[in-house]
Amino acid sequence: MEWSEPGIVLATRRHGEADIILEAMTLGHGRHLGLVKGGRSRRQRPALQPGNTLELTWRARLNEHLGNFRAEPVVERAGAIMADRAGTYLIQALAAHLRLLPERDPHPVLHRALTALLEGAVSGGFDARAMAEGMVRFEMLLLEEMGVGLDLGSCAATGVAEDLVYVSPKSGRAVSREAGMAYHNRLLPLPAFLRAGNDVRPDRAELGEGFHLTGLFLERHVFAPRDLSLPEMRGAFIRAVLTR
């Protein structure tokens, strides 16, 4: 068995004295692990860092085996990511989210979002609001890919698509201002930047509302059923970007 394609490094772990097990997110093969022989060497170690894009060739006798990776650097952004505290938290939080996916299950939407988020963070000079907005949107996509996406296109009570300012914490559906007015203290705010058709840059308060919204549904429908908590690095990333 053999395939080759680019992959973004999510993490590595030591295997024996000289080798590592590499975890990467690929377009066609999803989150995939493989052994890199000599991966702890001075020559290979700099390329095998979280956030870098590598050209990966995976080989194994049988498909169910761990297999071996041959890795060549394509885009080396790890140094820039790790130089910024928020960037370090970002790649670790993204990796924790992606570990919710079954190994080797392709999720091209998330792969593209991961690539765009990392490239945007580096090229944008680690703009705190841009990184935070990108992470909220990534978490919205993750909910969709996990089968528990939010429906923010129309009001759950009336079906209208205008003036949507709330989200039902039970159904995950949007609610209009008029329909939700009497129950506003039981509803979640829908930040303007997540409303369909809006192209506005969120402020710090709206980003906090976005993280509260995605965090609630991630914890309830994705992490808790697996007997897991929201990743610590997610909280560290949120604090890092919302206090700048």
In angstroms, the Cα distances linking 224 to 215, 227, 228 are 11, 5, 5
> 171 or 196, which is more confident?
171
Q: Is the pLDDT of residue 125 over 90?
A: yes
Q: Which CATH class is domain 2-76?
A: mainly beta
pLDDT band at 46 (very low <50, low <70, confident <90, very high): very high
Map tokens 């024996």 to a residue: 16
The residue type found at 197 is G
pLDDT of residue 200: 84
- Comparing C-alpha atoms, which of 99, 135, 100 is closest to residue 118? 135
Sequence-ordered list of residues with C-beta below 8 angstroms from that of 178, at least 6 positions apart, any chain: 158, 163
User: Is 27:5 a contact under the CB 8 Å cutoff?
Assistant: yes
Sheet with 151-155, strands from edge to edge, namely 151-155, 173-176, 164-167, 188-189
Arithmetic mean of pLDDT over the chain: 96
The pLDDT of residue 196 = 76
Kindly report the pTM of this predicted structure: 0.96
Average pLDDT over residues 5-16: 97
